[in-house]
Structure 1
Amino acid sequence: MTAVGESTSAAPAAKKSGFRPDVQGLRAIAVLFVVLYHSGVTWLSGGFVGVDVFFVISGFLITTHLLESLERDGRISFGSFYAKRARRILPASLLVGIATVLAAWIWMPPLLMNEVAKGAVAVALYVPNMLFAVEGTNYLAETSPSVFQHYWSLGVEEQFYLFWPAILAVGFWLCRRSERRLLVVSAVLVAVSFALCVALMSVSQPWVFFSLPTRAWELGAGALVAFLLRSGARWPRAAGTGALSWVGLALLAVVGLVYTEQTPFPGYTAALPVLATVLLIIGGAAPGRGSANRILGLRPFQFVGAISYSLYLVHWPLQVIPQVAVGEDNPLPLWLRLALGAVAIPLAWLLFRFVERPVIAWPTLRKRSRLWTGAAALATSAALIATAGGSYYLTSARGETATNQTAGEETQLQKDPAGTGFVPENLTPPLEEAEADNPSIYASDCHRPQDSTDSSGCRVGENEDAPLVFLFGDSHAASWYPALAELAEQGKIRLDTNTKSSCPSVDVPLVLEGVTYTECDTWRQGVIDRINEEQPDLVLLANYGAERPELEGGGDFATRWQQGMESTIDAIEGPGGDGSGSGSDEAGADGSGAGADGSGDGSSDGAADGSSSDGPVVDVLADVPDQGETSAVCLSKNLEDTAQCAVPRGEAFDPAVTEAEQSAAETTGARYVDLTAYLCNESMCPPIIGNVLVYRDGHHLTTHFSRLMAEPLWEEIEASLG
């Protein structure tokens, strides 16, 4: 590396930058990876790494430009830099943002418009990535994503552009105008960012995925390439170096084909696509024909590379809005998703031809760059915020979220409910409040978050003579808390609640967001230890197995789920600590309860009397029906015909998981308690019973409905206690 003012024969040539067709072709590969991945092409399961390729390219190009400014002028013209960024990014982003809000208003359920508005505001404030990090969005596994979710990468880049020029300018001054010393500083920052990316994966994958500090190293890797190619070093200019681009291309292809949604990402696995891009950029700079430039320079790649930014903007709403319009439980066929991806190409060309390119070349903006920098940014933000705010108005203007009919007030549940065929105006809770209708243990922190290992539990009920009941499981167990709390307030039981997000009481090692969920194992064992110490009268196990969470080590899910449930029940010991289990070993052959489809109409006596003198009685609660999509969202577009949102009984349960839980209860002498008959009739599981909304999303009971389940649940608890 040579400092400004020093000269070598190789340096001037090495420091010249200009248009590179290979980089344009690399842009094409990156955006095609993303578009095909989002279009459902399963063999390109790692297509999401296209964003990482973009990060490296951006870091390389931006740093090259900034270093040229430092060499030429000894400083960075921040006004000029941000004006160019504004002309490049904001107009197309603004237009697509407005079009997305309007399209969402036309085709998406009214109840989702508030989420659309929230996303638009985050985009306007250049922090969409932070919004998704705060919400804990899992980008690789999200089933109902935001229409603005793809803007997260733009948020990372915009935030990088905010800090990086200043870092280089200050560093250049502190390093006495030496690019070599500045390279060392930059390398240290890149290393720190990469270390954070790897280390924090075990803490919070969403924050690692979406935040700038843990993603900056990818842009920084491109920056280091810019330093290298400006250094005057001879080996990057050697003819044989071109072979590196072939290595990079092959590595990128392997990553795209091998990585999946289960790959821990970003973390250390992001290093491979970043390395592949680095090799492609370095190899592409070498003279001669030994590189992959001839492929990357082909006209189709040049065309797609030119429109890559516009294509990235338009492709995502085309995938998300139609899917949401037809319902998440009706996946769009592959051919249609591919067609939508193909339609994005001409739309992107129109956006590039008539918006992106003209604005970049607009003479007025180029001459008054500093003035227009702030004006363009402020105007864009104001327009997007106004659009977002307007979407709230559009939501109310579009129509109500209930009919003008009323339904009979539901005070006591009956079996085989017919359901209410319309959304009543006296619906409890209203559709707008469904998502927030959580059990009170969420607000009081008695329901443990994913990062907690606190197994202390929370007690409800003042009748010291009442039997002690432990509730033990994940968020589906928490859904039963209002019913059990009602019984505790009536003095029928004393309740000790032990629930934790995404952590079943079933003894299985889980992988959560790509990393081993050790907090779950620690918490679960802590609860079991407390049960064995407290010796409650009854332990209620309730879990969400239909989601089939990722098990560490793989294998047949139903088999391992059954073994894990048996392990948990067997670990619940009597006073003597002999680990003998909870119930009688005389389970009847006919004690299997509901069928594999969850069609039972009550509980089964898996044990002779559901009790044992050796330790606490254990009841396994059958899971609630899985609606497939958020009921409130579906109902908001089917106000007069709620049957459109009812799930067939045969599709509401995972038969293999149901059978596994029944078998585990029978094997261990526990009691399998099935209350499905209060949630479903013979054919369907309605989303509204009487005037009560049953589900707050697709598979959690509302607090209001759970309270109504208190009496049916008490009948089963009373039977278990003998």
Structure 2
Amino acid sequence: MRAIAVGAVVLYHAGLAVVPGGYVGVDVFFVISGFLITGQLISMLQAHRRIPFGEFYAKRIRRIIPASFAVLALTTLASLVFLPPSTRPGALQDAIATALYVPNVLFAAQGADYLAETAPSPFQHYWSLGIEEQFYLFWPLILLLGFLLVSKSIKRLFWVVLAIVTVSFVLCVIMTTTSQPAAFFLLPTRAWELGVGALAAFALHAGLIRLNGRTAAAGTWVGLAGIAVSLVVLNSGTVFPGWAALLPVLSTAAVIICGSASPAGGAGRVLGLRPLQKIGAWSYSIYLVHWPLLIIPQAAVGYENPLPLVVTLALGVLSVPLAVLLYRFVETRFRHPSAGAPARTGRVIATAAAASLAFVAVAAGLSAVQSSTPIATTRDAPAQPLQLSPTGSTFVPANLTPSLRDAPESVPGIYADGCHADFAATVVQADCVYGDSSAERDIVLFGDSHAAQWFPAVEAYAAANSYRLHNLTKSSCPSVEIGIMREESPYSECEEWHQSALSYINEVDPELVLLSNFGEVSPVDTSTGLLEQWEAGLRSTLAALPESSRAVVLADTPSHDASPLDCLSQNTEDATRCDLERTEGIDKEVVALEKRATAQENNSFYVDLNGYLCTNLCPSIIGDLLVYRDEHHITTEFSRALAGPLGDELDRVR
């Protein structure tokens, strides 16, 4: 079972399309771990009527920490060598969280912020280990308290565990629809999966399930088929974990329970094959090794140059012999005291704690050094006014504004002010008004984060021309009237907010309404093409604006496949390597349809300022200004520099 689980995960991460649901291998691992650990704890309760916590924790530490720390240390060193300098402090932060056994908590927080356009962390696979470690910490105490509560009856303790599993599952389903990253990464919403394995252990130890050989053998095949279906039917678009996780979890439990009743029959004949048994024994080490082996080479060649499938598959295969070395010389050596690991319980726990603290201290120091080291050449670049057909800088200047390190924080002030609506907002904020409060004319900025990126330029124009500026922007919610998906569910909050925004605009009756949007969305309606829906939705929005208002649709800025910051940090002496082909960064079809829609709607105009960002190439640095803060947002400083060209265009349509 472990061999199937780890094989599915490795093939999925390597990009093999035939297993789009390979990520459920982690769920299989959870069930197996819950079964094995709970079985051990039940045996302790039955034999001693108590749980020797020190002995239990020391055994868990010897089992998982040495190999985990060996890969953690090597991955940290490799990250410092091969990762782009711009991402190293973040990677070290992830490494520190891993050493403190809370990487899943950190990734849950990061996953909730979809403004953060970041490459995968080399330590991201540790999230599942974090859940297991936290489970091992709390589960023995929970079982002991439950055991005492039900008068030391294993059969009655089963019902206590069932209640815990039910609560965790319900929480998982609810949070998957409201905060999917938290549901995916956190223990309370994943505990039920380990708990299902625990229920299987109780059922077998307490004799709650009795199966004859033929039924058990058939059950193993049914369970194995369920896992196979999970690997093929589920995919990256599946809302997960939620209800979808039931299939791989219950299927794994079926294989465990039925296989225990008929170990030599059914699917046990396949799962018992020596190659699968060997891979299963190495599975923990394979899991630890495979992810950094895939991520770090990709970082070394640049995220803008995706590794071909044949290379990623080769790296996945390479993880096996490397894992065998880790298994033999680290995992096995420290698992048993007689093989060289410290024998005393207190010493084992103290050594693990000391190793964690020492690693954290070193990693924090390295992070401080990395964060303070400039990512630029020693040369300055002259400041220059923006002009059409710009010439990009050929190097990363020392006076770059903002610096590559500061760029991710170069966001408009409306974020800090709370005036850029978050995902949950359904009504606009009437107090998000900027500029001259006594002015008699109004401008409205309306759209998603790609409208918000224009705020510095529009604010400068409003201040210079005595306008009140009303900011109506919301994360991932375009001003185009179109039903879209977010986290694989209809983004109903966007639809409600959109209607609230239109009502607000009609009440204000502004002189100008500026609209801008990121066109890469997933429509709810898949029966009609996105471009057709986008044009119809834009026309609908323009038609809903006040007749007296002039609507200006701002062309979207270029979009990169990978963050220019990472490329620039690796090519400080040759920034031209990070230039983007205009044809790759700007969608001509979207430009054409938006021009067509504005031309056919009264008082509507189309303004395209991309001539100030691109010729045939779109450079990442123009003069001493950094253009982009991530894959597809311009920096605040560059937006402010566009105030003049934008103002010229707006003056023409007033």
Q: TM-score, with normalisation over the residues of structure 1?
A: 0.87
For residues 227 and 292 of structure 1, the distance between their equivalents in structure 2, rounded to whole angstroms, comes to: 22
- Superposed, 1:383-422 pairs within 5 Å as 383-392=358-367, 395=370, 400-410=374-384, 412-422=385-395
Q: Shift of residue 142 of structure 1?
A: 8.6
- The correspondence for 2:244, drawn from 246, 252, 269, is 269
Residue 648 of structure 1 pairs with residue 587 of structure 2: no
* Aligned position for 1:560: 533
Q: Does 1:501 align with 2:475?
A: yes
**What is the CA–CA distance in structure 2 between the aligned matches of 1:361 and 1:74, rounded to whole Å?**
25
Looking at secondary structure, tell me which structure has more helix per residue: 2
Which of 104, 107, 115 is the equivalent residue of 1:129? 104
Distance in 2 (CA, whole Å) between partners of 1:550 and 1:423 is 39
- Opposite residue 387 of structure 2, the aligned amino acid is Q
CA distance in structure 2 between the aligned counterparts of 1:32 and 1:667, rounded to whole angstroms: 56
Q: 1:624 aligns with which of 557, 564, 574?
A: 557
Q: Within 5 Å, which residues of 2 pair with 1:682-701?
A: 683-701=616-634
CA distance in 1, matches of 2:117, 2:257: 35
Aligned length: 651
Alpha-carbon contact 1:542-1:620 (below 8 Å) kept: yes
**Taking structure 1 as reference, are residues 705 and 215 closer, same or farther at Cα in structure 2, changes over 3 Å only?**
same
1:611-647 CA-partner distances (Å, limit 9, x unpaired): xxx3322111100011222222211111111101110
Where structure 1 has 5 or more consecutive residues not aligned to the other structure, the ranges are 1-25, 575-613
The percentage of counterpart residues that share the same residue type is 48
The residue aligned with 1:429 is: 402
Residue 85 of structure 1 corresponds to which residue in structure 2? Answer: 60
**What letter corresponds to residue 282 of structure 1 in structure 2?**
I
> CA 1:234 to 1:201, structure 2 compared with 1: closer, same or farther past 3 Å?
closer
1-structure distance, mates of 2:127, 2:170: 21
Which residue in the other structure is 1:281 paired with? 256
Deviations 1:244-288 (A, max 9, x none): 111111111111111111110111111111111111111211237
| Residues 54-94 of structure 1: per-residue CA shift (max 9 Å, x gap) | 11111010000000000000000100110011001111111
In 2, the alpha carbon distance for the partners of 1:508 and 1:388 equals 46
Q: What CA distance in whole angstroms lies between the structure 2 residues aligned with 1:97 and 1:672?
A: 52
**What is the 5 A alignment of 1:456-467?**
456-457=429-430, 458-462=432-436, 464-465=438-439, 467=441
Q: Residues of 1 paired with 2:163 and 2:514: CA distance?
A: 53
1:106 positional shift: 1.4
Are the counterparts in 1 of residues 111 and 181 from structure 2 also a CA contact under 8 Å? yes
The one-letter code matched in structure 1 to 2:513 is V
Aligned to 2:286: 311
| Equivalent in the alignment of 1:703 | 636
The one-letter code matched in structure 2 to 1:275 is: L
Partner of 1:474: 448
Equivalent in 425, 443, 463 of residue 452 of structure 1? 425
Aligned positions of 1:165-180 closer than 5 A: 165-180=140-155
Q: Secondary structure of the residue that 1:468 maps to in structure 2? A: strand
Aligned to 2:509: 535
Structure 1 residue 491, shift from structure 2 partner? 3.5
Measure, in 1, the Cα distance between the counterparts of 2:27 and 2:325.
Answer: 26
Maintained 8 Å contact 1:472/1:499: yes
Contact kept in structure 1, 2:117 and 2:630, CA below 8 Å: no
* Distance (Å, rounded) in 2 between the aligned partners of 1:166 and 1:690: 62
Match of 1:706, SS? helix
Q: Is the 8 A contact 1:236 1:282 kept in 2?
A: no
Identify if the C-alpha distance between structure 1 residues 444 and 394 changes in structure 2 by more than 3 Å, giving closer, same or farther.
closer
Aligned-partner Cα distance in 2 for 1:138–1:521: 21
- Following the alignment from structure 1 to structure 2, what is the Cα–Cα distance between the partners of residues 229 and 659? 66
Number of the residue aligned with 2:8: 33
C-alpha deviation, 1:389, in angstroms: 2.3
Post-superposition Cα deviations, 1:474-522, rounded to whole Å, max 9, x if no partner, equal 1111100011111222244321011111111112222211222211111
Q: Distance in 2 between matches of 1:550 and 1:362?
A: 58
Do the aligned partners of residues 710 and 142 (structure 1) sit closer, same or farther apart at CA in structure 2, a change above 3 Å counting? Answer: closer
Distance of aligned partners of 1:370 and 1:84 in 2 relative to their CA distance in 1, 3 Å threshold: same
2:540 aligned with 1:633: no
CA RMSD after TM alignment: 2.0
Per-residue Cα deviation, 1:111-155 (whole angstroms, up to 9, x for no partner): 11101110011001111001011112699x997111111000011
Q: Which of 517, 520, 529 is equivalent to 2:494?
A: 520
The 2-side partners of 1:555 and 1:260 are apart by 22
CA distance in 1, matches of 2:596, 2:464: 33
Distance 1:285 1:348 in 2: 28
Corresponding residue number in structure 2 for 1:250:
225
Is the counterpart of residue 678 in structure 1 residue 612 in structure 2? yes
Structure 1 match to 2:210: 235
- Report how far residue 197 of structure 1 moved: 0.6
158-167 or 485-494, which moves further after superposition? 485-494
The 3 A distance-change label for structure 1 pair 28 and 364 is: closer
Q: Distance in 1 between matches of 2:598 and 2:157?
A: 65
Partner Cα distance (2:499, 2:80) in 1: 48
Is 1:720 aligned to 2:653, yes or no?
yes
SS in 2 for 1:460: strand
Secondary structure of 1:310's counterpart equals: helix
The residue type paired with residue 560 of structure 2 is Q
Residues 167 and 263 of structure 1: is their aligned pair in 2 closer, same or farther, counting only changes over 3 Å?
same
Counterpart Cα distance in 1 of 2:527 and 2:403: 41
Instruction: Mark the runs of 5 or more structure 2 residues left unpaired by the alignment.
Output: none
